[in-house]
Structure 1
């Protein structure tokens, strides 16, 4: 809506985990390095945790995109699976023919055969699970047992778990101590600091095609950092709404007032993370933005 107004080629603050917008901040670069080193070292289990919105799914996709042809990957984005369904999902990703209604023993046997086949080709296998905190205890135990598949010299299967901090709490339980002891490397993603938020905004705007003067005033940046707590997803939400407001008001710079209204309209923004109420000023500004966009389109059609 406001892209042409601010000289952008595309929307800069989409919530989809687009690797083209990857911001090489210290935490994510370090996490990616830890993942690559741990996999190359042959670790059976690797864990990355972080609060909601800190970029775990984006990091997951980056890992999948950066592994070379020596690796075969099985990506499980939906962990709400029972142990049998999880094993079948991994088998499907590894192109293991199972046939209709296979028994558990058959699935495990065919998986082992496929892993041995790939190892014979000099290839390694990584199972990457997003939102791993949603796995049941039984599914986690099934993963542990699958990781037992190995030759005399190396693991046949490596598992990377991406999850919210609740995953750490789950693994702290006595019943999962065997799996916890298998985790060779772990990493905790941290939110962005104030400088990181400013650089993050600048980076995403540049990727989207912006090359003008700073769009966010210094006071707006400070307010945005406090309200978002440095969580990239919240930064995206607030920045998008603030830009929409600036566009609706005919401004060329986002000020603290626009960020403050965006914060009021966003449930998880602010230190208290209180439920939001849609305020009349925001509604009026958003409505004005829609009117301006409609007028611009009408003028383009008329000129054509």
Structure 2
């Protein structure tokens, strides 16, 4: 690939969540603070929402890694499960016997939670992609959250999901669960300045010694084409680097980002590469870009 060409130790723009690349922008700092405060509070459900690709899974992993030894965390990445399957998944995460009938399974989970409480542990169940939870499984979660001592809840549940999760929670038939959400936060996309910092941060973590690998025009175009969504930004930046490498260039410019955007579903394609590059001169293309950049500035 292009690592040695650009002086990198590793690929900087992978879409796999890697907490070594986590950076505390304002929206992530606020969300992480909400999670930590809520976890120490110990009551109710916690909800984090955000559009596809805004970094919910990365935030979830960073949150679990940040918690101290007095917390025991369980993680379910795919909650598209019926109630019985969810209970078995929870039991497995809690290291409790899972191959039992529903009644005994609930007893095993309760006993395990009581054992962890006696050890001084707070237990957090983090559910990613929570918008995929079936309604009957949401009700099972609510009932699971009823497990408690006279002093506190034995299990706290954190939901990470897309905005569709809010639509489900607005339903009248699961209003009891919605009323138990005591803390919530919605992740916003990155702004123009944050994108520049984001690109520089990921390049530095990957070992880049340069501060001008992406031209100012390329960075502005990444902002326009990615909507400020980190996952889209990673895809576009990675493709732009590959295009520059393929052309033998040492820097990523406007052209490479535009071509990457034109080839990426979900991004804003400021042009159709075939149309523009076959019919317009480079000068007209640059003027068109500058007009768009000034408009959005």
Q: Please, which of 258, 265, 268 is the counterpart of residue 267 of structure 1?
A: 265
For the residue of structure 2 that corresponds to 1:4, the secondary structure is: helix
2: CA distance between counterparts of 1:190 and 1:238? 19
Task: Give, in whole Å, the separation in 1 of the partners of 2:27 and 2:134.
Answer: 29
What SS is found at the alignment partner of 2:179?
A: helix
1:120 aligns with 2:118: yes
Q: CA–CA distance in 2 between the matches of 1:208 and 1:229?
A: 24
Give the conservation status (yes or no) of the 8 Å contact 2:96–2:112: yes
Q: Aligned residue for 2:4? A: 4
- For residue 177 of structure 1, report the CA deviation from its aligned partner: 0.7
1:72–1:124 Cα contact (<8 Å) kept:
yes
- Aligned pair 1:213/2:236, yes or no? no
Query: 1-side partners of 2:250 and 2:37: how far apart?
Result: 45
Work out the number of aligned pairs and report it: 276
Q: Runs of 5+ in structure 1 lacking a partner?
A: 282-304
Equivalent residue, structure 2, for 1:178: 176
Please state whether the residue corresponding to 2:157 is helix, strand or coil: strand
Mapped pair 1:202 → 2:200: yes
- How far is the alpha carbon of 1:23 from its aligned partner? 1.7
* 1:64 to 2:64 alignment: yes
User: Which aligned segments of 4 or more residues in structure 1 are displaced greater than 4 angstroms?
Assistant: 276-279
Distance 1:121 1:249, change over 3 A: same
User: Which residue pairs with 1:227 in the alignment?
Assistant: 225
Q: Deviations over 1:65-97 (max 9, x none)?
A: 111111111111111111011011111111112
Once residues 221 and 235 of structure 1 are traced to their aligned partners in structure 2, the CA distance between those partners, rounded to angstroms, is: 10
- The alignment's TM-score, normalised by the length of structure 1, stands at 0.87
In the other structure, the counterpart of 1:148 is 146
Give the CA deviation at 1:264.
0.5
- Structure 1 residue corresponding to 2:130, chosen from 104, 129, 132: 132
Task: Give the Cα separation in 1 of the matches to 2:44 and 2:274.
Answer: 48
Distance 1:9 1:244 in 2: 15
CA distance in 2, matches of 1:138, 1:220: 47
Structure 2: how far apart are the matches of 1:65 and 1:36?
11
TM-score by length of 2: 0.89
Conserved 8 A contact 1:265-1:277: no
The residue that corresponds to 1:24 in the other structure is 24
- Structure 1 residues 93 and 176, CA, compared in 2 at 3 Å: closer, same or farther? same
Structure 1 SS opposite 2:257:
helix
Question: In structure 1, how many angstroms separate the alpha carbons of the residues matched to 2:273 and 2:205?
Answer: 32
Deviation at residue 278 of structure 1 after TM alignment? 9.7
| Gaps in structure 2 of 5+ consecutive residues | 278-297
Contact in 2 for aligned 1:147/1:158 (Cα 8 Å): yes
C-alpha distance in structure 1 between counterparts of 2:269 and 2:176, whole Å: 38
Q: Does the aligned pair in 2 maintain the 1:229–1:271 contact within 8 Å?
A: no
Q: What's 1:95 paired with?
A: 95
Q: Is the Cα contact below 8 Å between 1:46 and 1:183 reproduced in 2?
A: yes
Higher mean C-alpha displacement, 262-271 vs 166-175: 262-271
**How far apart are 1:173 and its partner, in Å?**
0.9
Aligned equivalent of 1:247: 245
CA contact (8 A) 1:228 1:270 kept: yes
Q: CA deviation at 1:43?
A: 2.1
Q: How far did 1:271 drift?
A: 7.0
**CA distance in structure 1 between the aligned counterparts of 2:155 and 2:251, rounded to whole angstroms:** 51
SS of the aligned residue for 1:65 comes to: helix
CA distance in 2, matches of 1:271, 1:230: 14
CA distance in 1 between counterparts of 2:71 and 2:20 reads 22
